[in-house]
Each structure stands twice: as structure tokens, then as C-alpha cells.
Structure 1
Amino acid sequence: MSTTSPVAPPAPAAAPKATLFHPTVARLTYRALLGRRRALILFALPALLVAIAVIVRALTGADDATAGGILGGFALGTMVPLIGVIAGTGAIGPEIDDGSVIYLLAKPVRRSTIIFTKLLVSIGVTAAFSAIPVLVAGFILNGNSQQIAVAYAVAAAVASVAYSALFLLFGTVTRHAVVLGLVYALVWEAFVGNIVPGARTLSVQQWALAVGQKVGAEGALNSAVQLPLALCLLVAVTGLATWYAARRLKALTLAGEE
């Protein structure tokens, strides 16, 4: 009489790791953001800022008002949000668009860990390509008179955090994240936020300026938002955008996933 050995039950799926940062996700995100096409744009904008600073300094000499106009108008008002759009949406948007995100979601990694890791990478890239060039351009323009270079660099770094979270969220909720990001950066931030007084309260640029204002000399930077409110809004927007991006990513279920 033949006997059959019992069949072992299938091994349970590995539980997602309860960590906030995943090195492999970070490495893949860095490689995606610093690919040839995006890297050209990321390097072009800071290079343009530095070139403008060199030309202006050669033509007009050191002038605080001119330095503030360039660093506040072009750098913080246009360059930083554009870099934020490229880094924030590029951290996850292309993976969702081409469907390759399913390979990442199939790994035993929490969705919140994926989002938080991509956010940190986006912040690092945005800050590196915005705050450092702003600092260099500021020293070229007026030698950091009235702490303008440092103040605007701090403002750019602070803005990088909120922009990265906001544009990363855009990348999870719509396939037109770049268009939506450009509308926000160029229409709301650069146009409406600088003209309509009430809209300035809802401007990342103004929140960042409030922080930079505490670093620079009195009157060197001006923000329409008081520092306590600016800090609260920066934390709230960054936190809520990150939380909702993770929630949206959880809604992307794999075939056969409960």
C-alpha cells in the first residue's frame, strides 16, 4: 500500500518592511531623475542663473537691489519651482505612466516607504540644483551683502521641501502632473501670487521668503506672510501632500491583490 507525503502549504508572502527609507528605491529614483534628458534641464536652469549673475555684475557692479531682484524674481520665483516640478513629478510620475510601478509595488515594501523615500530624493535633488546655485549667484552679484545670498539660499532650500511634496503628489494623482505643476509654478507662483495680495498667503514662495527674511538683514527680503503662519503652512502642505500621495499609491493594486 503506497503512501503519499503531505504537501507543505505555500509560504506566506513576506510582510512589507516597516522602514521609512529604502536604499534601492532611492537609487532607482536618483537614476531616473538624473537621466540624460532631465539632467540637461536640471543643469541648464542653474547655469542660466549663474550666467545672468556674472553678466549683471560685470555690467552694473555690486548692487543689493539688483541682486534681490534677480534672486527673488528669477531664482526663487521661477527657477526653484521649475526644478521642483522636474524632480517632484519625475520621482514617480513616469513609473505610473508607463506601468513600471507595478514591479516596485510587487516588492515587500510599504507604499508609505516608497513615497517617503522618493520625497527625500526629490528634496535632495531640488535643493542641490536650486539652493547651491542661488548661493553662488548671490555671492557673485553682491558678495553676500546684507546676507542676501545666504538668505535666498535658505529660502530656496525651504521651498524645495514643500515643492517636492506638492509635485510628488501631482505625480500620483494625474498623468498630466508636469502640466499641472507648470501651471502652478508659472501662473500661480510667478504671476498670481506676486500680484494678488490675498493669493500670496497660499504661495510657497512667500512662505519660503518668510524663513529667509529671518536670515537676511532687516529689509533685505520681504514676505507677505508672517513667519509663524508660514512655518505652519509649510509643515501642513508638506505633511498632507506626502500622506495623500501615499494613500493614492495604496490605491494602485496589483492583479490578484486583496
Structure 2
Amino acid sequence: MNPTIMRLTARALLGRRRVLLLLPMPIVLIGLTLLGVASEDEYVTAGDWGPLVFGNLGLAVILPLTALIVGSSALGLEIDDGTITHLLTKPLPRGEIILSKLTVAWLVTTAATAVPLAVAALIAGSGALAVGMVVGAAVGSLAYSALFLALSVMSKRPVAVGLVYIVLWENLLVSFVDGARVFSIRQHAGALADAIGDTPLVDSSLTVLTAVLMAAAFATLGTYAATRRLRSFALTGEAN
């Protein structure tokens, strides 16, 4: 990894207006958690509202959308405005560039998702779930970031493609086809959070081993694909 690339990438990501899109989502998550806790009585339990807030919103919407915004911007913005040529003219291995970009995207996404998820879990009264959410968000962020970083160098419209993937695959298909859950990053993150938290607030049918192995596969394949694609870029900033 290259510290200079990482520093410049972090500065570019955090200085973009697009990052402002990340702010409302954690606020909504924490607000709904407060409402859920306040509504609990003998008829409404944590098991009624928890999976909706933590699973269907936190892990199914906030985590992938944040990763999409950050991951597609880490390198995609430089490709769009042509400044990628500055990197391509440097005697740097393409793998080093991708790993540096991926690390920053992963850290930013993890910070933007793990913190509000952990706070929401603490509000719900589960310290164990807070830890589980941090671990699940970190693993999910890495897999998603690698996937969306790869999309940013393979597609001219990575955000649109990423949104289609999130809506159709991560939310619709996995809801109707049980076998598809093995290939769902959302389910990988949920499995880790569920195993560590061990509460009715999160529910997952995947084993921890399956979740870890599949998340690692997504991260590895995404990094490899992005590196291979970047190697095909000419000094014009476009793929040959």
C-alpha cells in the first residue's frame, strides 16, 4: 500500500459533497431504534422491530449504499475527471494503487456504518450486538468496497449498476431464493452480527464459517478484478 495515495484518497473522499449523502442514514437508523425501544410493551418486543431496523435497514440498505457511494468514488471520480492519468504515469504497481484505494474506502465505510449500528445496538440494550455489528459492518464493508471499487473501473456507470445489484440481488432475490443468501454480502455481515450478538434483534441462517469464507471471496475477487482492469488502462485514463 502507498501512504501518499491513501492520504490523497481520504482527503478527496471526505471533501466531496457526495459524502454528505451519508449523514441522514445513520440519523434515521438511530431514530427508528429509539422509537422501537420506546414502543416495547407486552405486545411489542425487540424481536418484532429489531430485524426490520438492524437487518432490513442497517445491513440491507445503509451498509451497501454507503459502500457504493464511497467505493465507487475512491477511484471512479479520478477516472471521470481524467486525473487518473497522474497515477498511471507513476512507476507504481497497479495492485498497490488498488489496495491503497480499497483500504481507504473500507475504513471510511466501516466508520460510517459500524459506529451508528453500534450506537443503535447500545440503545437497544445489547452490548454484545454492538460488538457484533462492528464486526459484521467491518467485514461487509470490505467485501462491498472491493466489489464497488471493481465496478468503478469496469463500468462507466458504477453507481447505477451498484444500485441494481443492491435492489435486485441483495434485497429482492435473497428474500425469495434461500440458496442466493450464500452469495449475499448483506447475509455475511448479518451472520457475524447474529453469532456475536445472539439476540432476536438480528436473524441469520448462514454459519459463521460460510459468511467469513464468502466475504473473503468477494473481497479477493473484487480486488483481483479491479487490478486486472486497471492494468488495461492507457495513459488517457481509458481502458484499452
2:21 maps to a residue whose letter is I
Q: Give the structure with the higher percent helix.
A: 2
Q: 2:207 aligned with 1:237, yes or no?
A: no
Q: 2:27 aligned with 1:44, yes or no?
A: no
Cα distance, 1:161 vs structure 2? 0.8
Q: 2:223 aligned with 1:223, yes or no?
A: no
Q: 2:65 aligned with 1:82, yes or no?
A: yes
2:75 to 92, 96, 103: 92
What SS class does the counterpart of residue 92 from structure 1 fall into? helix
Alignment of 1:116-155 (within 5 A): 116-140=99-123, 142-144=124-126, 147-155=128-136
Cα distance, 1:220 vs structure 2? 5.5
Cα distance, 1:234 vs structure 2? 1.3
Q: 2:54 aligned with 1:71, yes or no?
A: yes
Cα distance, 1:108 vs structure 2? 2.2
2:11 to 19, 31, 43: 31
1:241 maps to a residue whose letter is G
Q: 2:161 aligned with 1:180, yes or no?
A: yes
2:126 maps to a residue whose letter is N
Alignment TM-score, normalising by the size of structure 1: 0.83
C-alpha separation between the residues in 1 aligned to 2:15 and 2:235?
Answer: 27
Report the counterpart of residue 10 of structure 1 in structure 2: none
2:97 to 83, 104, 114: 114
Q: Structure 1 residues 130, 218: CA separation in 2 closer, same or farther (over 3 Å shift)?
A: closer
RMSD of Structure 2 on Structure 1 (CA):
1.9
How many residue pairs were aligned?
A: 233
Q: Max radius of gyration: which structure?
A: 1
Identical positions, percent: 39
Q: Structure 1 residues 213, 31: CA separation in 2 closer, same or farther (over 3 Å shift)?
A: same
